[in-house]
Amino acid sequence: MKKKVILIAVGMAVVLVGGTIYGCASGFGAVKVRTVSAERKSVSDSYTEDGSISLGDSCKIISEVSGPVEEVVVSKNQPVKKGDVLYRIGTEDYSYELETLKAELSGYEARLEKAKVGNVMTLSPEEYLEDLRKQKESAEAALSAAASTYTAYSSLFSTGDVSKTDYDRARAEYENAESEVQSAGSRYIEASRYLGQLEKEGMSKADIRKVFYESDSDAMEASINSAKAQIDKLSSKIDKCTVKAQEDGIVSELPVKNMTLVSAGQETAEIKTQSSPKVESDVLTSIVPYLHIGDGVDIKLSLRGKDEVYKGVISEIYDYADKGTSALGTDEYRVHVVMELGGTKGGSDTGGAGSTGQWTGADNASSGQNLSGEKLKGREGYGVNVTFPLYEAQDVLTVPASSVFDSGDRDYVYTINDGKAVKTEIAVEYRTASDVVVKSGIAVGEKVIERADDEEIYDGVRVKG
């Protein structure tokens, strides 16, 4: 009995050993994989994004002045011509300031004339200085009277007993008198100081008289020039209170309509200029590096089950990105891209092959499809699909995208050598969803493992195909 058990055990051991040996010889224990060959072929890739039609550039109207909104002449979506009045800002404050400056200018010019007459009549500097002192006292008396009147009118205006015109007149007279006192006082003090300085220098009376009058005249002429410059500036501001269209177009935005006061630098309106049609789109930042100004694009407009496919050219790529939210609720960043429109491809029913048609050219009017402002009237803001070509090459070496994996910022595939998987570094030129274009690292016809992400695959593992 013992002999039989021993013989059976030995027999089983022999069978197991034989099976193991046989299994190793026939590939038992190797990972089964599918392989593909690196091949040369044509590769193209594109990216499609939503866009919208624009009939021209946006011309934003920025207010150059501040004041109350007096009248809005136009309405949103209204066509306008260059020079048409859009809205008006009240000029009352600017006009009041302008009249004050004009009064100051008249005073400066009168005093300059008086100084010249005094010089001709050979008044001594001391006599001229005394005259300035009297002018100062006279100005102070006028200010006192104007202040009393202004105070009284302020009270009467607050109770409605005087008109705003009378109140503004009293205020203007008070401020003019105040300015006159400051000017007369400053001239008297400066002339006194300067005369004393000249006398200390030991100059002759003739020289003192000459230098003194020249200095006083120069100071007044400087004041006159300053007042004239301020008057010109204020006159320009008053002109800018009537805001006009700078280009032909359509009023696309009109925020001034809801404003009571406008501040300088505030956006008040927007005009879409009716120039060549454009398409605008916001593109993910991961795509932007592949886009260049001058690149062609396909633009598809779908209308009532029919596609119109047009040719476009990228004309502008903004140099900054705006943050937004993806459909999944995550942050994403997009760059605004503008395309000029022109030329068409053949149209087709939705889902057809229109996007593969040949360009008819921007100037082919006979097709009836050339994109123009006239054809697109009423289509401002229509949505389109924009296809951006990202990569196109003929006869390039490729492997499936599933064959490539990265490790330590480098790209690899698994090649087969002597029945084992070999981790092989490659240089990648471009990736599409299905293919990877390889610059170097493997050769045409070389076998690679089709799915590199299989958990059983690693460098050196035995494989069988």
Q: Name 355's Cβ contacts closer than 8 Å, sequence gap at least 6.
A: 298, 300, 307, 309, 345, 387
Specify the 3-state DSSP secondary structure of 121. Answer: coil
Look at residues 316, 350, 379 and tell me which one is the last residue of a structural domain: 379
Q: Side chain identity at 241, as an amino acid letter?
A: C
Tell me the Cα Rg of the chain: 44
Whether 101 and 234 map to the same domain: the answer is yes
Sign of the torsion angle spanned by Cα atoms 451, 452, 453, 458: positive
Q: How far apart are CA 155 and CA 167, in angstroms?
A: 10
DSSP assigned state of 64: S
Answer whether 329's CB lies under 8 Å from 318's CB.
no
Whether 97 and 183 map to the same domain: the answer is yes
Q: How far apart are CA 151 and CA 172, in angstroms?
A: 12
Half-sphere exposure of residue 177, counting CA atoms within 13 Å on the CB side?
20
Q: Does residue 29 belong to any structural domain of this protein?
A: no
Of 437, 445, 64, 95, residue with least CA distance to 262: 64
Q: What string of DSSP letters covers 245-278?
A: -SSSEEEEE-GGGG-SEE-TT-EEEEEEE-SS-E
Residue 101's CB is within 10 A of a number of other CB atoms, namely: 21
| CATH code, domain carrying 268 | 2.40.50.100
Q: Does residue 27 belong to any structural domain of this protein?
A: no
Of 181, 385, 219, 185, residue with least CA distance to 298: 385
Beta pairing, strands 447-449 & 35-37: antiparallel
Position 4 scores a pLDDT of: 47
Position 374 scores a pLDDT of: 57
Q: Does residue 47 belong to any structural domain of this protein?
A: no
Whether 104 and 213 map to the same domain: the answer is yes
Q: How many domains does the chain have?
A: 3
Q: Does residue 361 belong to any structural domain of this protein?
A: yes
Question: Domain range for residue 254?
Answer: 58-90+242-272
Whether 196 and 216 map to the same domain: the answer is yes
Whether 236 and 128 map to the same domain: the answer is yes
Q: Does residue 234 belong to any structural domain of this protein?
A: yes
Residues in the chain with pLDDT < 70? 1-28, 55-56, 114-125, 195, 198-199, 202-218, 274-276, 342-378
Position 124 scores a pLDDT of: 67
Of 337, 377, 322, residue with least CA distance to 77: 377
For 86, the token pair is 């859009």
Specify the 3-state DSSP secondary structure of 393. Answer: strand
Q: How far apart are CA 396 and CA 427, in angstroms?
A: 13
Of 133, 269, 127, residue with least CA distance to 209: 127
| CATH code, domain carrying 131 | 1.10.287
**What residues does 89 pair with on adjacent strands?**
69
Q: Does residue 341 belong to any structural domain of this protein?
A: yes
Whether 160 and 98 map to the same domain: the answer is yes
Specify the 3-state DSSP secondary structure of 69. Answer: strand
Whether 225 and 115 map to the same domain: the answer is yes
Whether 318 and 188 map to the same domain: the answer is no
Position 436 scores a pLDDT of: 97
Whether 133 and 78 map to the same domain: the answer is no
Whether 197 and 105 map to the same domain: the answer is yes
Q: Does residue 170 belong to any structural domain of this protein?
A: yes
Q: φ, ψ for residue 243 (rounded to 5)? A: -95, 130
Q: Does residue 17 belong to any structural domain of this protein?
A: no
Position 365 scores a pLDDT of: 35
Whether 99 and 225 map to the same domain: the answer is yes
Q: How far apart are CA 5 and CA 42, in angstroms?
A: 69
Q: Name 166's Cβ contacts closer than 8 Å, sequence gap at least 6.
A: 153, 157
Whether 218 and 354 map to the same domain: the answer is no
Q: How far apart are CA 177 and CA 147, in angstroms?
A: 9
